[in-house]
Structure 1
Amino acid sequence: LPSGVFVYNHRLKLLEDIRSGLFTLLWRQIQAIRQYGEDCDAVFAIGDVIVLVGAYLSGKPYMAFTSSSSAYYENRMKFDLLTNWLLKSDRCRQIFTRDRYTAQMLNQQGYHQAICVGLPAMDALELTGKDLPLLPNLPFVALLPGSRLPESSTNFQLLLDLVIATIPLFPNGIQFCAAVTPNLCLPDPTGTIPIQQLAAQCGWQYQAPGYLTHPQYQIKLHCIYDAFADILYQCDLVVGMAGAAIEQAVGLGKPVIQIPGAGPQFTYTFAEAQMRLLGSSVQTIGTQPATAETIVLAAQAIHRTLENPQYLEQCRANGLERIGTAGGGAAMARIFAKEFLKTDLS
């Protein structure tokens, strides 16, 4: 779909989705749900009202993980009428929320089966053991340009400018590592390495097997596509233009600096909502697509943040509160299996 499913940021994109066959797609999905529903005993629904409608139309009992909803957004929890009806249906046996605050709010409003057992996104952070080329005793900043092309390419070029703006603020040195999508690092069908072209456009030079240098600065930027969790665990700070990756960083107790881009996903609207969701761990620099001034302010924010040990400790506590630790996916599976499969997975 043209919106990339991010109509929250660009409401007019919904019209483009409709013209591109949104309703036809939904109808086919409903037909598929009904077909598969005949052979299943229960449904686990993850997402918003569309997914809940699908679970209900299956005709089977279901559990729901309201992954996109949180009371942190507006300090309250209010669903639309249809979502409210679907979650309070007798066939909805359990509601899982992404945080304890939301579960508390829902239970106060009569959703007595709402619980929080953790955010499954944290389960995906599996260390690879890859040896990151890091120097000891130097601050380590992770760069997350996102994973959706072509947006991540534009974001990556902004982050290259940020690296240059940050270096002078750390006379004793600082190191960066970019966690990028494989589509940027690996050769395309023509043999071209996209990240090499992006770097050249910004005055950087590509060196195999995946790092960039700049002729005017003593800096080596490593670009890695297969060690995301390792980078997150080892970094001291994250500069991100992404969604779920930022949530994972906050969950690990990392401070995050966001720079709004041109979208379609990572706009100021998205970044501001994510800041409300994730709390004090996240700072958003600027309210418009990043400019040269935004980059300078972001570089200053990196320096200010890394020099504030009290704030860094606060980020660790905030991460536990807003996201929590790993294990949410397994906990949901155990509850689902015990209810519908009469099986104990513990």
Structure 2
Amino acid sequence: MSVLENEQRRRVLLISNGHGEDEIAAVLGEQLAQVSPEFELLGFPLVGAGRAYAAKGIDILMAAETLPSGGFTRNSLGNFLRDVKAGLFRQIGAQIKMSRQVRHRVDLAVCVGDVYLLTLAGLFLKRPLFFLPTAKSDYIAPHLWIEIRIMRRFCRQIFPRDARTAASLSRHGLPAEFVGNLMMDCLSFQNPAAFRGEEGWVILLLPGSREEAYANMKDLAAAVVALEKLAAGQGTKENRRYLVALAGGLHFKELSKALGPDGWQGAEPGPEEAARGIVGHLDRKDAAGGLRITIAQGRFGDLLAASDLVIGLAGTGNEQAAGLGKPVLTFPGRGAQFTKVFAERQKRLLGDSVRLLVREPEVVAKAALELLRDPAAREQMGKSGRERMGDPGGARKLALRIKEYLA
């Protein structure tokens, strides 16, 4: 039986347009399956293959092709032109066609992303819509008047990412309510102590989730080298352990290949390490001795929980780190996503929980070492991050709201 052949069950379509948005929609689907197992859930990723849905056992209505921009078509004219050449308009046409085909077989659509996604669903799906506007926050900039008009036209309910934005939309007469930031529900924990070690500091490196992560990792590794040289020059004896959270869809061999010209060599994990999610190590020999960066996959929550400091070039990952109370250092990356403008917007979103630096290894190293030696500053940054992101539990609350709506 196909995912749309059973006409007796209530169907909820989860639509998302980004990898982080896929994660949020999938964790909401997971909670919906628990509170309303009678619902049929369908995932509709507009960007990429929707691995997050598959990981939660949610059927995918239609996957998208991976375009050169990785979902950041509107970030620059170059991104737009490359995506057009790779079939952007063909893909949009297919998504519109699919929306029309399933219009009479969906009871509710939950849109996770931006107003473009909402507009597409409103015009062509034409079903009741719940909207999670993950791309906008009043901490960065209020919604534009045209966005407010679109939300007023299409949304039955709006669940913004923070209380400030919910209050702002409510003042415009929109049905907005803050139930929590579902991004924090996307974190799962198994055994953080496995990555903690006996003593010393743990520094987590986040290169991002797209192809640009390989280039970003070169800058992060250069910062590690600079940090160790700085510490050695000061005669300090602290132990530091470096970990990398490698996103799904990225590969350790490609990472090792990218860093080879910089003097790093890949090393395979031992059996016990592999069982803990470690996929390899990057080793480097120099005059100061040996350096090791450990790469893990599928254990992001544990890696975050184990860390004392995050140096990140990630969108969702940096935000989750801040929400978990981890101080974050960041700087502009080298790809289509983590640009200077993106990093500045994220800084406004996360406030004092993030320090935005220039992309220079020595600058990053100095800031990292100073922060590691200042527990009061780390605590204050962590407090700010927890306040901005909110507590977990929003996915469960929203699932119950959906159950009530469809009752």
**Bin for the TM-score computed over the shorter chain:** 0.7 to 0.9
Distance (Å, rounded) in 2 between the aligned partners of 1:184 and 1:44: 28
Distance (Å, rounded) in 1 between the aligned partners of 2:81 and 2:222: 35
1:73 aligns with one of 136, 140, 160: 140
1:227 maps to 2:288 = no
**Structure 1 residues 9 and 301, CA gap change in structure 2 (3 angstroms):** farther
Contact 1:207 1:213 in 2 (8 A): yes
Query: For residues 261-272 of structure 1, what are the structure 2 equivalents within 5 Å?
Result: 261-272=333-344
* TM-score after normalising by structure 1: 0.87
Aligned length: 323
1:142 maps to 2:184 = no
Distance (Å, rounded) in 1 between the aligned partners of 2:126 and 2:283: 58
1:84 maps to 2:148 = yes
1:156 maps to 2:217 = yes
SS at match of 2:385: helix
1:93 aligns with one of 141, 156, 176: 156
Distance (Å, rounded) in 2 between the aligned partners of 1:160 and 1:204: 9
**Structure 1 residues 195 and 7, CA gap change in structure 2 (3 angstroms):** closer
Which residue pairs with 1:315 in the alignment?
381
Moved more, 6-15 or 259-268: 6-15
Which residue pairs with 1:190 in the alignment?
none
Task: Note the C-alpha offset of 1:274.
Answer: 0.9
**Structure 1 residues 105 and 133, CA gap change in structure 2 (3 angstroms):** closer
**Structure 1 residues 184 and 26, CA gap change in structure 2 (3 angstroms):** closer
Task: Note the C-alpha offset of 1:130.
Answer: 6.5
**Structure 1 residues 146 and 310, CA gap change in structure 2 (3 angstroms):** same
Query: For residues 135-214 of structure 1, what are the structure 2 equivalents within 5 Å?
Result: 135-149=197-211, 151-170=212-231, 171-172=236-237, 173-181=239-247, 184-185=250-251, 193-209=253-269, 210-214=280-284
Which residue pairs with 1:60 in the alignment?
127
- Cα deviations across residues 229-255 of structure 1 (Å, max 9, x unaligned)? 111011011001111111110110111
**Structure 1 residues 16 and 221, CA gap change in structure 2 (3 angstroms):** closer
- Cα deviations across residues 78-113 of structure 1 (Å, max 9, x unaligned)? 3242x3223213x522110001111111112222x2
Contact 1:44 1:55 in 2 (8 A): no
**Structure 1 residues 106 and 202, CA gap change in structure 2 (3 angstroms):** same
Contact 2:195 2:302 in 1 (8 A): no
**Structure 1 residues 201 and 325, CA gap change in structure 2 (3 angstroms):** same
2:95 aligns with one of 15, 26, 29: 29
Task: Note the C-alpha offset of 1:28.
Answer: 2.1
Distance (Å, rounded) in 2 between the aligned partners of 1:185 and 1:43: 34
Contact 2:347 2:356 in 1 (8 A): yes
Distance (Å, rounded) in 1 between the aligned partners of 2:133 and 2:163: 12
AA in 1 matched with 2:188? E
Runs of 4+ residues over 6 Å off in structure 1: none
The answer for unaligned runs of 5 or more in structure 1 is 187-192
**Structure 1 residues 218 and 73, CA gap change in structure 2 (3 angstroms):** same
Moved more, 303-312 or 235-244: 303-312
Contact 2:108 2:129 in 1 (8 A): yes
* TM-score after normalising by structure 2: 0.74
AA in 2 matched with 1:207? A
AA in 1 matched with 2:258? L
**Structure 1 residues 14 and 206, CA gap change in structure 2 (3 angstroms):** closer
- Identity in percent: 34
AA in 1 matched with 2:214? S
Distance (Å, rounded) in 1 between the aligned partners of 2:152 and 2:255: 49
Distance (Å, rounded) in 1 between the aligned partners of 2:136 and 2:243: 32
Moved more, 22-31 or 60-69: 22-31
SS at match of 1:215: strand
**Structure 1 residues 322 and 200, CA gap change in structure 2 (3 angstroms):** same
**Structure 1 residues 272 and 43, CA gap change in structure 2 (3 angstroms):** same
Contact 1:103 1:114 in 2 (8 A): yes
SS at match of 1:115: coil
- Cα deviations across residues 288-310 of structure 1 (Å, max 9, x unaligned)? xx3xxx11000001012222233
AA in 1 matched with 2:268? A
Which residue pairs with 2:25 in the alignment?
none
Task: Note the C-alpha offset of 1:31.
Answer: 1.9
Moved more, 122-131 or 226-235: 122-131
Which residue pairs with 2:285 in the alignment?
215
The answer for unaligned runs of 5 or more in structure 2 is 1-66, 270-279
Distance (Å, rounded) in 2 between the aligned partners of 1:177 and 1:18: 37
Distance (Å, rounded) in 2 between the aligned partners of 1:155 and 1:218: 22
Which residue pairs with 1:123 in the alignment?
185
Contact 1:237 1:306 in 2 (8 A): yes
Q: What is the RMSD computed on CA atoms of the aligned residues?
A: 2.0
Query: For residues 9-48 of structure 1, what are the structure 2 equivalents within 5 Å?
Result: 9-48=75-114
1:255 maps to 2:327 = yes
